[in-house]
Amino acid sequence: MTDPKLELGVYRYEHTEPLFDGRVTIDGVDVTLDTSPLIRRLFVDYEAVERDYYRRTGIFPMMHVVAIRRELAGTPGLAEAIYRAFCEAKDIVQEHYRANAAKRHMAVITPWFSALFAENRALLGEDWWPYGLEANRKAVDTFLRYHHEQGLSRRLLTAEDIFVTIR
């Protein structure tokens, strides 16, 4: 396969500037970043709220979604190669993380980190952020249902409508 030209998107500050400088406001809503006093977490006790949501629904929100431009999506083997590369990178990092767990996370200077790691592992299992559609189908289906219910899509989309099948 020849390598298609890939461009990485970069999210730049100028896209959020209207929110930060007051040109755009959202009544009663503050969002969170450490870089601005105008932004805070939606839930004060976010950890407890997120843990409760996971216990009730089995959904731990996905961190990222990898997108391929529509005109490149049909390139044979491209989606599979990107998926495999991300899986391999994740496997390397997870193995390193687990190895440090055996050493009680001596390289991390955060108090009680090992206890937090154990608590997360007990709740979430070994793979906190699983890759692939099937592993995330419940979260994707729920997101698409909310998307439709809130009027953001004209019809209820399916995961197959928005994701390329990886073999």
Q: Note whether 105 and 113 are within 8 A (CB).
A: yes
Quote the CA–CA distance of 112 and 2 in Å, as a whole number.
Answer: 49
Structure tokens that stand for 73 in this block: 């999506």
Q: What is the pLDDT of residues 89-107, one digit of tens each?
A: 999 988 887 777 767 667 7
Q: Can you state the angle between helices 78-102 and 113-124, rounded to 10 degrees? A: 130
Structure tokens that stand for 158 in this block: 């399916």
Q: What is the pLDDT of residues 23-65, one digit of tens each?
A: 666 555 444 455 566 666 778 888 999 999 999 999 987 878 8
pTM of the full structure:
0.68
Helix (H) or strand (E) holding 138: helix 133-149
Backbone angles phi, psi at 154, to 5 degrees: -70, -30
Quote the CA–CA distance of 124 and 51 in Å, as a whole number.
Answer: 9
The radius of gyration of the chain from alpha carbons, rounded to an integer in Å, stands at 20
Which residues are CB-neighbours of 41 under 8 A, at least 6 positions away? 32
